[in-house]
Each structure stands twice: as C-alpha cells, then as structure tokens.
C-alpha cells in the first residue's frame, strides 16, 4: 500500500483557497504518484476539490434523522469522500468524544465504504506518567469495530502534546509507539495486522523525511503545514520511492 499523505485543514480556508490549492496540486498528483494524497477540508469545501482525493474531518454516529448539525457517512459518500478522520484529539477534548462514539462512527463509515482515519494519542500528563502505551492501546481496542481490515481503515498516532505545538515527537518515540501498535494489531486484530499507521503532530518539510521513512510509519496526518501547498507537497516528496 502507498504511504498516505493526508491534510487536515480543520476550520480554515474558504471556497477560493480550496479551489486554488486543488488547482496547484494537479501536476503534483501525476508527478508524485508514489504516495497517496488526501485533503480533508471543512464540510462546505469538500466539493471544491476536483483533482485531490476528498476526505472529511468527522461524521455522525447515526444513520439519519433529527440530529441537527450532523453530517452522515452516507452524505459524505455522496460527496465523493473516500476517507474520514474520526476521534481527532480536538473532538475528543472539545466535544467529549469517547472511544464508544468513535467506534460507532467507524461502523457508519465502513458501511458506506469510506475509510476511517482513526486518531489515537496520549496527553503530555499521560506520557509523563508512563501511561502512553496503555492509553493508546485502549483507544485502539475500543475504537476499532470488528469488521476492520488492513485495507478498509487507517490509524493515526497523534500525541496530543505534538499537535499544533511545532514540537513533533522524536524519531525514537515515533518508531517505538508505531512498533507497539503494529504488535498490538498483529496479536489482537489479525485482520488489520497490516493497517497503515500514520504519524501526526507538527509534521513539516524539515522533519518529514526522517519521520515518514521510519519503520511502521505509513504516512502522515498533517494539520497546519497542509494549508500551504508548497509545504504539503514538500512533505509528500520526502517519502522515499
């Protein structure tokens, strides 16, 4: 499977910037097709992407009905989304999302053939207390649904303390955690043993080559650096062929 270079624009941009970004990527997508490119814009701008693969940043845990403000997996499929981020730490913290809710979202997405990008990661307090692996493994075991396979979903290890801080995890921390996640998948979720594991948290052009070519790092989930197309491209180009 190709490495996945996924951009999460969060609540940034507008229709014009999304269209311009998409146009600027057209040539790059053909030239650097050794990686898989994806952008997850805010819901209203998903349709502004026509060259880039479309993703969403969240979806409802429900199928349809009286859920004001929610967007269902069926609607995302209708918009041409192939991936959707779930369980991002900002949603876990600001919207009190727990593993059970994330798991229900995963089920919704899989039933509409959209690949969930399931985010997991420990806080600084948890890391300092020596609980990083325990927290991450619980998030994985409780968020993944039974019908997960290596192909139909993606994990993103995003230590909370590295998101938006400019301070990425060290190569040593990343390879250690990704190795432990790989072992956990092999031992507890055999159908998902080869699932791609992305790293996220202050990935930028200057640290991309080191992080993206490490063992068990199958791509990146990129926040702020995905808003500048030069940086986003530079990160994808750093993946060795």
Q: Which residues bind ligand PEP (CB under 6 A)?
A: 8, 158, 163-164, 200-203, 221-225
Closest approach of ligand PEP to the CB of residue 9, in Å: 10
Asked if 57 and 8 count as a contact pair (C-beta separation under 8 A), the reply is yes
Residue closer to ligand PEP (CB basis): 26 or 94: 94
Closest approach of ligand PEP to the CB of residue 8, in Å: 5
Backbone angles phi, psi at 151, to 5 degrees: -95, -30
Identify the active-site residue in 90, 97, 158, 178: 158
Asked if 77 and 115 count as a contact pair (C-beta separation under 8 A), the reply is no
Closest chain position to ligand PEP (CB):
223
Q: Does residue 236 sit in helix, strand or coil?
A: helix
Q: What angle (nearest 5°) sits at the alpha carbon of residue 168, between those of residues 144 and 24?
A: 85
Q: Is 229 labeled as catalytic in the residue annotation?
A: no
Asked if 131 and 137 count as a contact pair (C-beta separation under 8 A), the reply is no
Closest approach of ligand PEP to the CB of residue 66, in Å: 30
Write b or e for each residue in 182-198: b if 16 or more Cβ atoms lie within 10 A of its Cβ, otherwise e. bebbeeebeebeebbbb
CA distance 167 to 44: 30
Question: Can you say whether the dihedral through the CA atoms of 196, 127, 165, 47 is positive or negative?
Answer: positive
Identify the active-site residue in 36, 88, 97, 178: 88
Residue closer to ligand PEP (CB basis): 113 or 170: 170
Residue closer to ligand PEP (CB basis): 8 or 108: 8
Closest approach of ligand PEP to the CB of residue 191, in Å: 26
Q: Which two tokens stand for residue 228?
A: 């500048």
Q: Is 88 labeled as catalytic in the residue annotation?
A: yes
**How many Cα atoms are found within 13 Å in the side-chain-facing hemisphere of 42?**
11
Residue closer to ligand PEP (CB basis): 50 or 234: 234
Residue closer to ligand PEP (CB basis): 99 or 202: 202
Closest approach of ligand PEP to the CB of residue 43, in Å: 17
Q: Where in the sequence numbering do the catalytic residues fall?
A: 88, 158
């Amino acid at each position: 499977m190709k490495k996945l270079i996924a951009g999460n624009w969060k609540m940034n941009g507008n229709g014009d910037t999304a269209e311009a970004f998409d146009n600027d990527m057209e040539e790059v997508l053909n030239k650097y097709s050794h990686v898989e490119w994806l952008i997850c814009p805010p819901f209203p701008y998903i349709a502004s992407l026509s060259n880039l693969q479309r993703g969403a940043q969240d979806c409802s845990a429900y199928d349809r009905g009286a859920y004001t403000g929610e967007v269902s997996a069926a609607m995302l499929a209708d918009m041409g989304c192939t991936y959707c981020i779930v369980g991002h730490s900002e949603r876990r913290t600001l919207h009190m999302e727990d593993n059970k809710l994330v798991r229900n979202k995963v089920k919704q997405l899989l039933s509409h053939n959209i690949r969930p990008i399931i985010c997991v990661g420990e806080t600084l307090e948890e890391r300092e207390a020596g609980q990083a692996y325990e927290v991450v493994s619980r998030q994985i075991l409780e968020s993944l649904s039974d019908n997960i396979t290596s192909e139909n979903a993606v994990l993103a290890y995003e230590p909370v303390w590295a998101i938006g801080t400019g301070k990425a995890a060290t190569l040593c921390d990343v390879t250690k955690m990704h190795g432990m996640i790989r072992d956990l998948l092999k031992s507890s979720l055999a159908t998902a043993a080869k699932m791609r594991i992305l790293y996220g948290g202050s990935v930028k052009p200057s640290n991309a080559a080191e992080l993206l070519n490490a063992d068990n790092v199958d791509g990146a989930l990129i926040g702020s650096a995905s808003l500048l197309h030069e940086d986003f491209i530079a990160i994808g180009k750093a993946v060795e062929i």
